[in-house]
Amino acid sequence: MRSARGFSGRSKGGRPPLLGSSFSGGSKGGRWARPALASALTLVALVGCANAEPGVAAYVDGIRITDQQVSGAVEGVSTTVAAGQQVSTAAVLNAMIYGAISERLAATNNIVINDAERATVLRGSAVEGLVNVPAARSVAYDLADQQIVSTKLGSEAFLAAVAEQDVTLNPRYGVLDPRQKLIVGDESGSLAKPVSPTPQIPQ
């Protein structure tokens, strides 16, 4: 589970890759949802991570996502993809960030999420199988949670709330779009295949 410590004692926060590309890179027909941007944006790398604790990938309003959690999730997702496909660490971390954001927004808005509701959202999707892999289950739940919270709040309200979340990314993982809270893996600030800025469960 995520722990609630932050840089310089900051308080907690919130999650999404609302995009329909794939977790895999380097081959066609990737099955997993990979967050991307809808248009070219000016991105800024956050400097707060200069004082980050060792082993921390990101803070979401004080919720800590560790390197170990990210690497474990990537390894778990990797067991489910086809041969020759490589899982994108940035895509997995995007899902985790949006999971934390959704967790926070759910608590703030008295939205209760249970496993049965998650199963309904994931049923028939390309990421449904992640639920059967212990190391990858949290990624599937992160994707489901963002979908559930976005639906209950309304996509416009959800994205507006996402923009207000305090997310600090370790620069080793790339740069962060400060409004959409999505990672762009290189200094150019663009992903290979930009898509809709709203995370969705791939069908």
Task: Tell me the per-residue pLDDT of 147-169, one tens digit each, with 9 for 90 and over.
Answer: 999 999 999 999 999 999 999 99
Domain carrying residue 130: 7-184
Find which of 81-95, 161-175, 179-193 is predicted with most confidence, using mean pLDDT.
161-175
pLDDT of residue 146: 95
Confidence of residue 51 (pLDDT cuts 50, 70, 90): very low
Number of domain units in the chain: 1
- CB neighbour list of residue 80: distance below 8 Å, 6 or more residues apart: 129, 130, 133, 136
Please report whether residue 128 resides in a domain: yes
* Cα–Cα distance, 202 to 81 (Å, whole number): 14
Cα 65 to Cα 38, 111, 114, 139, 187: the distances in Å are: 26, 22, 22, 12, 22
Find which of 23-32, 148-157, 181-190, 192-201 is predicted with most confidence, using mean pLDDT: 148-157
> Please, which residues bridge with residue 86 across strands?
25
pLDDT at 168: 94
Q: What is the pLDDT of residue 185?
A: 56
Residue 3 phi/psi, 5° resolution? -100, 160
Residue 97 falls inside a structural domain: yes
C-alpha–C-alpha distance, residues 105 and 99, integer Å = 10
> In this structure, is residue 11 part of a structural domain?
yes
Tell whether 203 is covered by a domain. Answer: no
Residue 81 lies in a domain: yes
C-alpha neighbours within 13 Å on the C-beta side of residue 61: 20
pTM given for the model:
0.70
**Residue 166 counted as domain residue:** yes
Do the domain assignments include residue 169?
A: yes
Residue 19 lies in a domain: yes
User: To the nearest whole number, what is the mean pLDDT of the chain?
Assistant: 74
For residue 31, what pLDDT band results from cuts at 50, 70 and 90?
very low
Tokens linked to 102? 């959704």
Cite the DSSP H helix spans in 56-177: 67-78, 89-108, 115-122, 137-153, 155-163
Distance CA 77, CA 87 (A): 7
Q: What is the pLDDT of residue 93?
A: 94
